[in-house]
Structures are given as C-alpha cells and as structure tokens.
Structure 1
C-alpha cells in the first residue's frame, strides 16, 4: 500500500518537473523571438515617420501615392537608410508639368517608384562622411538598383547634379534625411517619358481595308506601286488644302498623308524666322503664326511634296489695310491665300517669264482667282491699276520648296464685272391690213388680169 502511494507521488513529481522544463523553454524561446518580431514594426522615432511629418510634404505625398511605405518599412527594418528629399518648390513649380502628369498616371506607377527609390541609399551617410574634394566622386547604390555619385566641390556637397542645401536635416536612429535643391531623375525614367512623349509605346496600328478582288479575273488586285521620294503629289493642291472659312469656323489643318519626304514644319518655321530677321515683314509673319493657322497648313502642304511661292507684302503695305478688310470672317486667310502661288518661282524665273510672254497669270491658293504679272520698269509688277504691287525685295528666302518674294503692296483679285446685255427694241414695220371688201375686189380683178389697176392690190 505504501509502495503504491510512493510510486504515484514519484509520477506526479516527474510530471511537474517536465511541465516546469517545458514552460521555461517556451518562455526562453519567446524572449529570443521578441526582438526580431519587434524589429519589423516602425516606432514613432523612425526616419519614415519623420519624413511624413517633415517639411517635405510633396515628397511624402508621392511616397504614399507610389505605395512604397511597406517597402521602405522593410528596408528600415534591415538597415539604416539615407533619404535625399527635394524641396517642395522643386516638385511644385520647377518640375515640367508634362513630366509630373506622366508620373501620376496609373499606368506609370513603376516609373514613379523607380524615381523615388533613386533618392534613397540603403546605408547611413551623414554630412561628416561626405567625400572630400581630393577623393573625388564616390558611388553609392540606391534602393532602385541604380547608382548615385556623391561629390564635394567648391564648398558644396553634391549628389549627382543636385546640391545639398540642408545637410542632416532630420536624423533618427534608423536613418537620416538630407534636403536637396532639385529632383533626381534616373536615366530609365527619362527614357520611359521620352518614349511616351514621342508616342512610340502607344502608337496605334494603321487600319487597312479588306483586299479587293478583280471581278474579271477573280484575283486580288495588286496594290499601287510605291511613290518614289521627291515625286510630285498626285492630287492638285486645291484638293489637299484644309477646308476654308466657308466650310468651317476656322481653317484647321487637314489630315496628313502617308508620304512625308520633307520636313515642311521646319521649313516654314525657318522662312518665318528669316522674315523676322530680314526686317519689314513682321505683320505678314504675325498673320501666318498668330492670327491664322496658315503656317501649320503650309507646313503640311510642303511635307506632302507641294512647292509654294509667297508674295509677302511689307509692313508699310499691310498698314494700309482697313479694319473692314480684316474684320470679316476668314478675311486674313483669303488675303494670304491670294499671295501664295502653288509653284516654285524666283525673281529670275518670274522676270524671264514676263519678259518673254508679256503678261503672265499665276494660279493662287485662292482658287479660282489668279494673280497677273507683267514687266514694268525693269522689275515684275503684279496686279493692275491702284491694286498693283512691285517686286520690292527679291528672293528673301529660297530653299527649293518655299520661295518668299517681298512686294510693296497688298494684292486683291479683280472683281468680275457683270455686263448685262441691253436688248435694243426692234422696230417692226406693221403694214395696214386690207379690208374684206377690198380683198374681194382685188380677187375679182385678178381673175380678169386687171388687178394692177388698183395700187392697193399690188
């Protein structure tokens, strides 16, 4: 009986011993795991909390929009970090609006994250650890797997091209923040923005129609042969022009064609700059660029392969235009259209033409009106009467596609005079009608051959 009780107490003591041993092991294990679990949590003294509550509100807002808080918390849990924070003005006013719009688009979240990670180094670099002028530039890897270079020159601490304006602005046990004057942009983000701006990454596929079958042969029609570079356009220039004011509120640029062998926009811009530098033709340049969209239209026509000759009135001639002549809808466009010839003419070619043929009429973009030219006083005279103008400044600009000739007057098409044919009244000779009795008498005398006796019967 006693042995049975003693054995039971031994089992109880053994059970209590193992329970205490397991409890102590579990408590020791929990103590060993508590530091590691607490290291993943961010305390109030973290550099990330300091960034969110700092003066760098624009950068903090971008970090939240880029969904980088969890990534930065993990980075801070592993090692110290150094943040280069641009000032708010660099992100508000100094940043290109198109580039900022590009960063905030939902489809460009990866570029925004790469840009922000480019401002963070996964180690602690204080101002006292900055490289000296003798050591040169020191390379550091960023959280975005890029590289930044720290340098010191002329008493300025630099990170790439940005100057450190607030060194050690915020220091915390797990990192520090330096204030910089401008935003750092990695090359990869700049290339993404350039591709987006040039529409290479979002270019649409040109739709093509279904193949056509020749009903005579039941075979596919062969596509047209490619047009060789520099060949003249197939359409007349009137068909290629944009609709005028009579069809639309303003002459908008028409759709571009497939063949762009020439940079018409650059050529038009070049000749307008030439007009401004030449002097005396500022009003004409102002009408082409500001008052109308004709500069864009001319650039598109030149890109399509057309050639143009511009008869540019000087400022003295343009000053004579009245308000009534310019106030009507589409009046400036119609005036300029009449001064553009869809041919390439120089001063020599026009003078030789009028010397050889006398009076020459050139087509204009103001279809169907033509401008007349003739030789006068050893020069070329355009128009007739008071609305005429002389070739004043020859060959202001000639590049093989666009020719600009200065004239001393504004040309207007001649109004067609409507001549109404006046019908002259025609006098009708009305012979007096003979009476019935006289006709009977004449017929009776005629039967006997005596009708000549009466003059009335003749």
Structure 2
C-alpha cells in the first residue's frame, strides 16, 4: 500500500508540472540600467536619437556635452524627447541666436535650451486642451507648456526607456531668451566716430574765442598727459559733442555706462571695483572724455586680477600705476589693432603710465601685449565701443617696468661719462661733413697738421 500511494503522488506531481508548463508566462519589461551605470544599451532612446533624422539636434547634444547627463536621466527612468526638425535648427533659426548658442562662453545657455526639450517621464503627445496635464517639468528646471509644442510626428521613435516626438520648431526657455536679449543689447552698442575737442591755446591752456568748428575725428590740441597734469583746466566747459540737447560730451555718464557694461558682461568685476572704490581713475576718465579725449582700456579679467599678489597692490600708488599702464590715449578696436600688428609686426602704444609704452605684436591669430612671462593676449574683443571709450579684454595683468631697472625700451638710457684710462686720454672729436671739406681745402695750400681741428 505504501508503494502504491507513493506511485500515485508522483503521477499527480508530474501532471501538475505539465499543466504549469502549458500556461503562458506573463511578459516582463526589460530591466533598465541602474542609475549611474556606464553606457546605455543599443536599444536605448539615446542611440535612436543619434541615428534618427534629427541630426541637427544630435550634433547640438554632443557639442553641449550632455550625453552623460542624458544617460543618467535614462538610467533613472523613461524620458520623452521633443526633437525639432532639422530645418528649424538650420535655416529657420535666427543667425544671431545660433551664433550666441555656439559661443563657448554660452555653454550653460545651450545646455538649458536642450534640456528644456527632455521630459523625465513618458508623455503622450499631442495634449488636448481639456487635459489636466497642461505643463510638465523638464530636465532644465523650467516647466514646459505641452500645448505649445507643435507636434508633427508623434511617437517618431519608441524605445523601452523613452520616446521621441517630432515637433515643428525650437522651444526656447525664458532664461535663455533673457540671456540672449542682454547679450544682444550689449552688442548693439555701435561705434560712433569721435568728434574733435575745441581748439586750445597751449600757452594759456584756455579755449580760443571764438573757437572754430572742429572737423570730425580731429584730435585734441594738447597731448592727453598734458590734460592730466595739475594746473588750469584745459576746457572750462564740456567739449561739444553728441548725446544731449546742448551737444556736449557727458564723460562721467559714458564712464558709468562703461563700468555698468563690465558688470553686465561678466568676468570683469575686480577691474570695475578697483576703478570705483580703490582709485579715483573713474573720475579722471570722465574728465578726459568730457574734454574730448578718447581712451582704449586693456581690461584684465577676474582670473588675471586674482593672480596679483598683496605686495603688488599694497604700495602707495600701485593700483593707479598698474591701471594707468592699461590705458591707451587712442581709440582702438580689435580690428584696428590686429591690422596694425599684421602690417608693421610690432606696434608700441603710448599709455597714461608715462614714459612707458606697451608693445603689441601678432601671435596665434590674435594681438599679444608685452613680452615674456608678463605678456597678455587679447581674447575678449570690443566689450564696449561707444566712439570715446573702447574696452578690450586681456587674459593677464601687464606690469609696468621698474623705474630703476633700465630694462624698459621706452626709458631713455642714462648718460655716462667717457671712460678715462690714462692722463693723456683725450675725448674723440666728431667732425661733420662741412669741417671735413674745409680741412681738405686747407690741405691743398698748407699742412693740415697745423690745425688742431683737422688732426
């Protein structure tokens, strides 16, 4: 009986196993890679994006260095990518806006723009107006109104970890639009040809009355360092020029605009702080511009200013001496300086740090100031150009040569007395061509040795 019962139990277990094998097994979704896993599978939505018809978007993703960020987002769950057509990114996009996005300094704006097209969930599009899901968060951190996405190819690419919808045009977040508007307002400052200062009498340092009209672009009557020297004012009233009802140059207003532009442009806060708080150069620049002079400022960025030591700024007058060496009493743009160094090889510009000059030469397709370890490259051209003040960004601080070093090419060499080797040493006389001809003429009739000047 025991063997019989064991045989029946084995038959029942075999029948139950056969019945379970005949039942269909439930479908399981493919396992997603864990967060932070290196790489993605070949069936990922990111691989499909790179191989799809949206090649312009894929190129922008690679230029913005966003592949790793998108891989991490896919590892956390499904995503939805809104892909604009190639024509919307190539021909229909504003050239100025495209140039703004591709500049290296605007990398964060490009990343925000692209992440604005990625939703961290699988979303069905188009969305009807009656749907409660009118907005959806994006990887850029700004919500997107789904009704604004003009979907032309819904479910263009479907993968286990995401979906790609084709849309008509590019979606621009508000932060990127505001950044572009700020940059465009700065770039819209047009260069105005400077108007000459009134005619000044060099003897009295006063205006001539009546002053004839100065031609367009005429230079001031006195050098700029004479205007900075203490003494009577060069012009008792602002020089005539554009910008107001009385057509006077508002030098202080232009200096305020120039400093405000440095702050809005970004990366030059240290220079603006020294101009306003540590020195009185802002007031001096406003006075010079009001009197009709023009200036070109070689502006070191914040990284360059941070490399200055405490000893270089602690001595009395050191900040003024350093910044005076970065101011050229000429109106130069990046194009004019580059053309000059390309044509002449080396150009020496006067500075307000007399008597030293700053040397410029062409190097690596740009303008290089100084020489050796103290050199700086012009890498941020035409930050501000209003016809009176021109600001050119450089990547290092130019230090003026030492007063007693004797290494400055602009400093006049010290005059030394002739070396005396013995008591009979006589200084060598220099004879001009007229004296040489007279000695030859006298040698015809008498001996030349009788004349000391002809010996």
TM range (shorter): 0.3 to 0.5
> Which structure has the larger Rg?
1
TM-score (norm 1): 0.40
TM-score (norm 2): 0.40
